[in-house]
Every structure is written in C-alpha cells, then in structure tokens.
Amino acid sequence: MMGIQVSEGIAIGRPLIFKKKQFNITEEIAISYEIENQIIKDAFAKAEEQILNLKEKAIKKAGQEEGDIFEAHLMMLRDPMMRESIDKGLKKNQSAAKAVEDTKNKLMEMFKNIPDSYIQERAADIKDITERLLRIILREEEEDLSQISEPVILIAEDLSPSETVGLSDQVKGIIVETGGRTSHAAILAKALEIPALVGATDAIEQAKDAQMMIMDTIEGKIIVNPTEEELQVYEKKQQRYELEKQQRMIYATQKAVTKDGYPIKVYANIGSLEEWEVAKKYGANGIGLFRTEFLYMQNHHFPTEEEQFSVYKKIAEEGGEEIIIRTLDIGGDKNLAYYKFKEEMNPFLGNRAIRFTLSHIDVFKTQLKAILRAALHGNLKLMYPMISSLEELYQANQCLEQCKVELKEAQIPYKEDLSVGIMIEIPGAAIIANELIKEVDFFSIGTNDLCQYTLAVDRMNPAVSHLYIPHHPSILRLIKQVSQAANEHHKIVGVCGEMAGDPLYTKLLLGLGINELSMSSSSIPKVKEIIINNSYTECQNFAREIEKISETKAIEKKLKEDMGC
C-alpha cells in the first residue's frame, strides 16, 4: 500500500472502512421561496453553532492552530459567495437541499480546477461545510466516529477535518486514499499524534477483506491479516516505541552537549507561534527555521507589515536563544489562495522562494521591514531561501539596505546590524559555498530540496520516493563541502531539512562538521539523546568511515548497524 506518511507511530487494529452516506437529493420543487429561504437561514445558524463547538473541541484536543481550521470553516460559511449562489438556486424555484447541493458541486469544481494542491485540498473544506448544511436540512444523523469502541485503523476515501477531530480515542491509525501532506486531515492527525498515511490510493480495495491490520509508519509497512507471530512482534515493537518515546522526554530538558563537551544547537522548525509552545515542551532551545509562508498561506491577502511585525515581535520575545526567520518561500507546492501564479511546467524549478520575492519587490520589502523592526525585540536572524548565486544574494541584500534607508527616513526604529544567512538547498550554491560564506553570517542546509535537486527526484512524488536518498554519497559530499567552508570562516552551519531530525543521521552530520540541527519538535528528545551519549571525536571517526563507502545500500547498512537496528 503506497502513500505519504504524515504522522509517525505503530497502530494495530481491525480495519474499519468508513464510507460516507451519499445524499439522495431529488429534483424536488420548492414549497415557496420564503419557506426554503427560512430553511437555509436556520441551517446556516445551526451549522455555525456546530462548527463553533468543533472549534472548541479541536483547540482542547489538538491546539489553537487546529482550532483555526474551523475558524476558516466559519469564514467560508459566512462568505457571501456561498450564500449568494444558494440564493440564486432558490430564486430558480429549487428546494433548499437542491440549491446547497448545486452550490457544493459548483464550488468544489471551481477549487479542484485550480492547478494548486493547497487550494485543491480546500475543496475538502467546502465539501465538509456544504454536507453539514445538507445533513441539517435533510435531518440526517451525523456519522458518529466518536462512538467507536474497539481499537481500529480507520480507512477512508477521504476524511474531513470535522470527522478527524471528532474521532474516538479507539482510532489508532488513519489511512486516507485522497489528500496530501498539507490536507487538513493530515495536519490534525499529526497534531493528535495518530499514525497516518494519506494519498494511499488503493487502501479500501486492499483492506476490504481484512480482519486485522498492522500499520507501522516508522518503517513504512502495512501488514494486512498478520500472523499470530507478526502480531506479537508488532505489539512488542509498539510498546517499546511508546515507552521509549516517554523515556526520551528526560532528554528534552538536558543541554545538547557531546560527551567530550562539544555543544550543539538543537532548534525547532516551526510555522506559527502556537508551534513554539509545543517545541519548548520537547526541549527546543531556539528556532532554526521559522517558515513564514504559513502566515501568508493562512491569510486572505498578503499580510501587511504591521500584521507580520506583531507575529515576528512576539516570536522574537519568546522564541528562545536564537530565532532564524526565513523570508517567504512560496511557489513549488506552496501557493496562495489570493494570488494567481503563472502556470509553470516545473514549479519546483520555477519562480519560487527568493526568485518570487525578488520579482515581487513590494512583497519582499514589506516582510524585510517587519523583520528589521521585530529584531529589536530578541535575537532574530534573517535567512533567504533557495539562493543559487552571489548575484542573487547581492540583490536580496540591496533590498534589505533599501528597507533600512526607508525605515530611517520614516524614523521607525530597526536593527541596523541584523545577522543575515542563507539556505543552501541548491547544489550550485553548495558548490560555491566557499564564495558565498564570505558574504553571509551563517548557512543552513535545506536537505529536503538539496536532495531533490541533486538527485533529480521530485520530493512529492511517491512513485520515485525510493530514489530520494539523503545519505547518497553526493549529498554527503556537498554537506561536507558546505560545512568546511563555514567552519573555515568560523561561521555557523546548520541543517534544517528533515535529515536533521532523523536520528539515523545525527552522528554523521556532527562528524561532517554541522553545528546546529533544526527539526520538527517531536524529534528533539531522540536527537539530543544521541548527542549527549556520543563524543564529537566518535562522530568525526564515524563520518570518515561513511565517507569511504560509495554505495547507498552499504551506507544505509552501516548507519543502521551503528544505531543497533
């Protein structure tokens, strides 16, 4: 069963295939416009009440950011576009139910036809809201996934945010046929810490005759109808995983210093203020990557300087010893609902990240000014994504200097000597790292993109995911080259791609000369554990051993042997 893993863990249970009831809406004629309009009014009021309840539930169970998903539902519900479209139907003598159904189809079609995965996934939100209205109008009972009373792995064609947040505690794993990494169901599953797989296109077919299932999203394994022996093995593995997860929390509060006294910066990758609260719990000492694009993606307009300033100021005040803010990294798979990107054959090779901001100077300057101002309130640093050449860096810095001049003229206080770094995520930049380092204060290696560009493997495409190998010798050589350049100039070099949070690579990365690791919060305790229990010299020796191996399989074997797995 192929799919995209969005939440790590092991689940064992009976597969429960969840098929939604299809609404049977006939071409019934309206009683009268007034009566149907009143039905709609009542349905909107009831839907609003239900969504507010769900919002509270989501905040309690998962956090503020998850609650915001339902705030977005409220906004969609209140959006005049939906109401106007329904009203048009009523005026054509349609019944309330038929008018909602037609509006649902029309809006979903509209969203689905926009060639942008983020917006397409918002079609799921429209479906959720309109089906809620239909259930209210037709007095249908809501499918109650909160009443499941035995351990199950839920398998569904799709799962709405409302359904995900209402899940019983007995749902131990989720497999969804549709959706991607940024689908709201995926975000919620991760926040609720339920192992989850999305985009598993054939899941229902494969599980239809199954009595029992094991789902291991750590190793990427699904076992349908396991043997008694397999069940025992995985029950043990699951217990061990949960126990280790709990035990590892003792490392969260410890300092990340190797046995021979070498300190490593262990930071979190976050995209919102709320995530910083979670990151602190897991022991983050700072923020190595603040992905500002979420601020843009969750908005209905390009956020203003003031809107951004208030977020950056708060994060500067509360975000730990160091906070690296990355300028807008939009494009590729990340798009904006309120901005029409030009269609591109290869968006990941197109106008994304720094290329986008340098071609939208006003957007860039608004953000730079907000960062320059907020930097007075804490140890903020600035980072440009996707730099590919010296010229691009000069151009970005020129913009930054211009912002300083304009702030000075307007007598607005800002930080003059703001520290500026770049992400190294394009092989071309890694190759000229010795030149780039002279012009910046630090490097942070984005291994997610570095891997996709070096190996020419689309990081979103499950069909080629077996070729996406972060420990490919070419990647290791590039990392070494970049860290050598930084270390020779006594500048910090970090890794902020997924590799930084994978314990398999911790010793190797330290040995290659990396001095900062920034990762998803939940990975922090296990990475700290490895740092604390190894010496820096051991790491260097280990990296030298690995560097001698030229085949990826052999490298993987050595890495796993060293971890004892």
Question: Which of Mg ion, ligand PEP, none interacts with 516 (beta carbon under 5 to 8 A by kind)?
Answer: none
Residue 543, both tokens: 């990296």
Binding range to ligand PEP, per CB under 6 A, among 34-42, 51-59, 274-282, 445-453: 445-453
Question: Which of ligand PEP, Mg ion, none interacts with 104 (beta carbon under 5 to 8 A by kind)?
Answer: none
Q: Does 446 bind Mg ion (CB under 5 A)?
A: yes
Q: Does 446 bind ligand PEP (CB under 6 A)?
A: yes
> Residue 144 burial by CB count (10 A; 0-12/13-18/19+): exposed, middle or buried?
exposed
* Inter-axis angle of helices 80-91 and 33-61, nearest 10: 150
Of the pair 179, 497, the CB lying nearest ligand PEP is at 497
Of the pair 126, 433, the CB lying nearest ligand PEP is at 433
Of the pair 121, 449, the CB lying nearest ligand PEP is at 449
**If binding means CB under 5 A, how many residues of this protein chain bind Mg ion?**
3
Non-local (6+) Cβ contacts of 461 within 8 A are none
Which one among 497, 511, 513, 525 touches ligand PEP, defined by CB under 6 A? 497
Of the pair 95, 447, the CB lying nearest ligand PEP is at 447
What is the Cβ-side half-sphere exposure of residue 444, based on CA atoms within 13 angstroms?
A: 33
φ, ψ for residue 314 (rounded to 5)?
Answer: -65, -40
Which one among 395, 448, 474, 487 touches ligand PEP, defined by CB under 6 A? 448
Question: Which of ligand PEP, Mg ion, none interacts with 447 (beta carbon under 5 to 8 A by kind)?
Answer: ligand PEP
Q: Does 275 bind ligand PEP (CB under 6 A)?
A: no
**If binding means CB under 6 A, how many residues of this protein chain bind ligand PEP?**
10
Q: Read out DSSP for 442-489? A: EEEE-HHHHHHHHHT--TT-GGGGGG--TT-HHHHHHHHHHHHHHHHT
Residue 197, both tokens: 């797989």
565 noted as active-site residue: no
Of the pair 47, 496, the CB lying nearest ligand PEP is at 496
Binding range to Mg ion, per CB under 5 A, among 185-193, 215-223, 439-447, 470-478: 439-447
Closest CA to 442 of 384, 357, 367, 388: 384
Which of 73, 184, 471, 472 is catalytic? The answer is: 184
Say how far apart CA 103 and CA 269 lie, in whole Å: 39
Of the pair 446, 525, the CB lying nearest ligand PEP is at 446
Non-local (6+) Cβ contacts of 270 within 8 A are 276, 279, 287, 289, 290, 291, 521
Core vs surface per residue 282-312: b (16+ CB within 10 A) or e: bbbbbbbbbbbbbbbbbeeebbebeebbebb
Provide the 10 A C-beta neighbour count for residue 557.
12
Cα dihedral 8→10→13→16 (10° resolution): 20
Q: Does 502 bind ligand PEP (CB under 6 A)?
A: no
184 noted as active-site residue: yes
Of the pair 449, 516, the CB lying nearest Mg ion is at 449
Q: Read out DSSP for 419-452? A: EEEEEE-SHHHHHTHHHHGGG-SEEEE-HHHHHH
With tokens 């703001």, the residue in question is: 418
Check: CB of residue 166 under 8 Å from CB of residue 57: yes
Which of 403, 471, 472, 496 is catalytic? The answer is: 496
Of the pair 134, 496, the CB lying nearest ligand PEP is at 496
- Encoded amino acid at 56, one letter: E
Instruction: Give least dist CB 291 to ligand PEP, A.
Output: 6
Instruction: Give least dist CB 127 to ligand PEP, A.
Output: 28
Binding range to ligand PEP, per CB under 6 A, among 90-98, 149-157, 200-208, 441-449: 441-449
Of the pair 258, 447, the CB lying nearest ligand PEP is at 447
Residues in region 290-309 near ligand PEP by CB under 6 A = 291
Instruction: Give least dist CB 429 to ligand PEP, A.
Output: 12
Residue 122, both tokens: 């918002």
Would you give the binding string for ligand PEP spanning residues 197-236, x where CB under 6 A is met? ----------------------------------------
Of the pair 16, 423, the CB lying nearest ligand PEP is at 423
Question: Which of ligand PEP, Mg ion, none interacts with 198 (beta carbon under 5 to 8 A by kind)?
Answer: none
Q: Does 535 bind ligand PEP (CB under 6 A)?
A: no
Which one among 5, 94, 285, 447 touches ligand PEP, defined by CB under 6 A? 447
Which one among 125, 329, 502, 516 touches ligand PEP, defined by CB under 6 A? 329
Binding range to ligand PEP, per CB under 6 A, among 68-76, 446-454, 526-534, 540-548: 446-454
Check: CB of residue 264 under 8 Å from CB of residue 256: yes
Residues in region 407-436 near Mg ion by CB under 5 A = 425
Say how far apart CA 282 and CA 479 lie, in whole Å: 27
Q: Does 498 bind Mg ion (CB under 5 A)?
A: no
Write the CA distances from 250 to 245, 246, 512, integer angstroms: 10, 8, 27
Closest CA to 198 of 182, 214, 222: 182
Give start and end residues of each alpha helix (H) in 270-420: 273-281, 293-297, 305-318, 354-358, 361-374, 390-409
Sign for the CA dihedral angle at 531, 536, 538, 544 comes to: positive
Which one among 449, 502, 516, 529 touches ligand PEP, defined by CB under 6 A? 449
Which one among 131, 449, 502, 516 touches Mg ion, defined by CB under 5 A? 449
Instruction: Give least dist CB 478 to ligand PEP, A.
Output: 13
Q: Does 496 bind ligand PEP (CB under 6 A)?
A: yes
φ, ψ for residue 184 (rounded to 5)?
Answer: -65, -35
φ, ψ for residue 96 (rounded to 5)?
Answer: -60, -45
Write the CA distances from 271 to 334, 364, 548, integer angstroms: 13, 18, 38
Query: Which residues carry out catalysis?
Result: 184, 496
Q: Which residues contribute to the site for Mg ion (CB under 5 A)? A: 425, 446, 449
Q: Which residues contribute to the site for ligand PEP (CB under 6 A)? A: 289, 291, 329, 425, 446-449, 496-497
